[in-house]
Amino acid sequence: MNAETAYAKLIRATQEAGLLESCSELLAWDEDTCMPPGGVAHRGRQMALLAGLVHDRWTDRRLGDWLSAVEGSPLVAEPRSAEAVNVRELRRAIDRARKLPRSLVEELAQVTSLAHQEWGIARRRSDFKQFLPWLERIVTLKRIEVESLGWEADPYDALLEEYEPGARAETLGKLLATLCKELTPLVGAITGAKRHANVGILTRRFPLQRQRTFSQKAAAAVGFDFTRGRLDSTTHPFFASIGPGDVRITTRYALKRFSEAFFATLHEVGHGLYEQGLPPEHHGCPMGDAPSLGIHESQARLWENAVGRSQGFWRHFFPLACTLFPTALRDVGLDEFLLAIHHVAPSLNRVQADEVTYNLHIRVRFELERALIHGDLAPANVPDAWNEGYRRYVGISPSDDAEGCLQDSHWAAGMFGYFPTYTLGNVIAAQLMAAAAKDLGDLNVLFARGEFDALRDWLTERIYAEGGRFSAAELVERATGSPPDHRPLIQALRREYGELYGVS
């Protein structure tokens, strides 16, 4: 078989597997937004079946034969061509899939589907013991997965590879330690500053339907295409890419927590913009996907914080906010509002955390899930370890499980290794914004005029449209001129919050 024919067969099979995976995405979205509780058991069986079918596709011996026929051929001689990228990344994915037994893949899909529902109930009841049997089972399965995949330096690396190819636990641990060390003095300076944010204005009554309206208008203004996506409510915000022309984002609204819903919406909008900007002709193949979750999270954190908390953004949107929430904002000026949404203080909830302390939350989760995978922490001891981690790094401790170890859905979904990508996203987002400002000029001026197209087009050209052509590190370096670097994040936070609070 010649290389062209083998490649065509390989891509057809890959895209068919992608269609099956998109069915799983749709079922997962439905489960989290509108499925009746009585459907949990059946949904678990559906997810297990689909996971098994997808695994069969990835481990089909013919894929290996087709890959071998293409590798080393003139068709992939140009390493940055779509053909070469697809072959390179498919080899990595197929080799990984072949290490995992079908039975393990199916069981993980079924258990996590059921566990996710039990986590939601346990969170509402603030009862970790109800979720404990599910966590124990998931940790056991993930450790079996690690043993199946193998590793060199750290078993946690095997799970990181799923989300951030090439990342290593040792490097991430050093990054988190460095960020926490450099930002802790800034937290102290801000909390000790003479200026104080009146966060009470954000806990007034903001009618839910008007919050939905405001969120939808902001999402559309920055470029989220509602003819190719939708926004819904759920327990824990997430995005789901069903396929070209169908990107689902979710948020959660609370009457007296305006910031939580709005910035969660912008976070998911960032994911949605990325998905809507990927090359649709390559859907289902590596060239039509992000190279890593860190890159994906960089877009969520960029639109949520670098754009969504900027002075220019609110110069444009604050008049609309005052119109929609005349009672809540009746006596609030723009400067007071800006200070409120930049309030810095140790807090218990990651989603609601400010930019300066956010990575402290990630450090706690990173260390705990790494200990769970190593076997150094028993699932039953997670609440105590969580509380101790918050005392050590954040300076406060939760009073119950709901505001503590049950606040995130990631472990219920089996997503061990995901949390560090939020910190990588913060680092990359700051680097991208600094580079964009050099090319486009003062972004606050553009935002104040309601002009977000220039930034979105810049990101589309340098990030979205490239798909999986480059590794995460290469993509960042090509877009910004330098490898991934945490210093722009430190500089941006010191500059922005220093000006707001009058500290250095």
DSSP characters over 316-336: HHHHHHHHH-TTTTTT--HHH
Does position 332 have pLDDT exceeding 80, yes or no?
A: yes
Return the SS3 of 46.
Answer: helix
Q: How many residues does the chain have?
A: 504
What's the whole-number average pLDDT of the chain?
95
Quick one: average pLDDT of 459-471?
97
Q: How far apart are CA 365 and CA 371, in angstroms?
A: 10
The predicted-structure confidence for 352-382, as pLDDT tens digits, reads as follows: 899 999 999 999 999 999 999 999 999 999 9
DSSP secondary structure of 452-471: -HHHHHHHHHHTGGGTTSS-
Predicted confidence at residue 235, as pLDDT, reads 79
What positions carry a catalytic annotation?
268
Predicted confidence at residue 351, as pLDDT, reads 86
Predicted confidence at residue 260, as pLDDT, reads 86
Quick one: average pLDDT of 488-503?
95
Q: How far apart are CA 447 and CA 156, in angstroms?
A: 41
Q: How far apart are CA 18 and CA 50, in angstroms?
A: 11
Predicted confidence at residue 391, as pLDDT, reads 96
Q: Enter the DSSP assignment of 69.
A: H
Does position 1 have pLDDT exceeding 90, yes or no?
A: no
The predicted-structure confidence for 263-312, as pLDDT tens digits, reads as follows: 999 999 999 999 999 999 999 999 999 999 999 999 999 999 999 999 99
Helix (H) or strand (E) holding 242: strand 239-243
- Residues 118-145 as b/e (b if ≥16 CB within 10 A, e otherwise) read bbbebbeeeebebbbebbebbbebbbeb
Domain 169-203+257-501 has CATH 3.40.50.720: no
Does position 337 have pLDDT exceeding 90, yes or no?
A: yes
Q: How far apart are CA 504 and CA 497, in angstroms?
A: 9
Predicted confidence at residue 234, as pLDDT, reads 86
Quick one: average pLDDT of 137-153?
97
The predicted-structure confidence for 93-120, as pLDDT tens digits, reads as follows: 999 999 999 999 999 999 999 999 999 9
Decide: pTM greater than 0.85: yes
Burial class of residue 91 in the structure, from the number of CB atoms within 10 Å of its CB (0-12 exposed, 13-18 middle, 19+ buried): middle
**Residue 284 near residue 14, CB atoms below 8 Å:** yes
Does position 231 have pLDDT exceeding 80, yes or no?
A: yes
Q: How far apart are CA 245 and CA 242, in angstroms?
A: 8
| Model confidence band, residue 77 (pLDDT cutoffs 50, 70, 90) | very high
Residue with tokens 């994906």: 296
DSSP secondary structure of 209-239: HHHHHHHHHHHHHHT--TTSEEEEE-SS--E
Does position 504 have pLDDT exceeding 80, yes or no?
A: no
The predicted-structure confidence for 181-209, as pLDDT tens digits, reads as follows: 999 999 999 999 999 999 999 999 999 99
Q: Enter the DSSP assignment of 344.
A: -
Does position 482 have pLDDT exceeding 90, yes or no?
A: yes
Return the SS3 of 396.
Answer: coil
Predicted confidence at residue 467, as pLDDT, reads 97
250 phi and psi angles, rounded to 5 deg: -135, 160
Predicted confidence at residue 405, as pLDDT, reads 97
CA nearest neighbour of 239 among 211, 214, 219, 218: 219
CB atoms within 10 A of CB 59: 17
Predicted confidence at residue 352, as pLDDT, reads 87
Residue with tokens 């490649």: 7
**Residue 187 near residue 356, CB atoms below 8 Å:** yes
The predicted-structure confidence for 10-68, as pLDDT tens digits, reads as follows: 999 999 999 999 999 999 999 989 999 999 999 999 999 999 999 999 999 999 999 99
- Residues 436-463 as b/e (b if ≥16 CB within 10 A, e otherwise) read beeeeeebbebbbeeebeebbebbbebb
| Model confidence band, residue 149 (pLDDT cutoffs 50, 70, 90) | very high
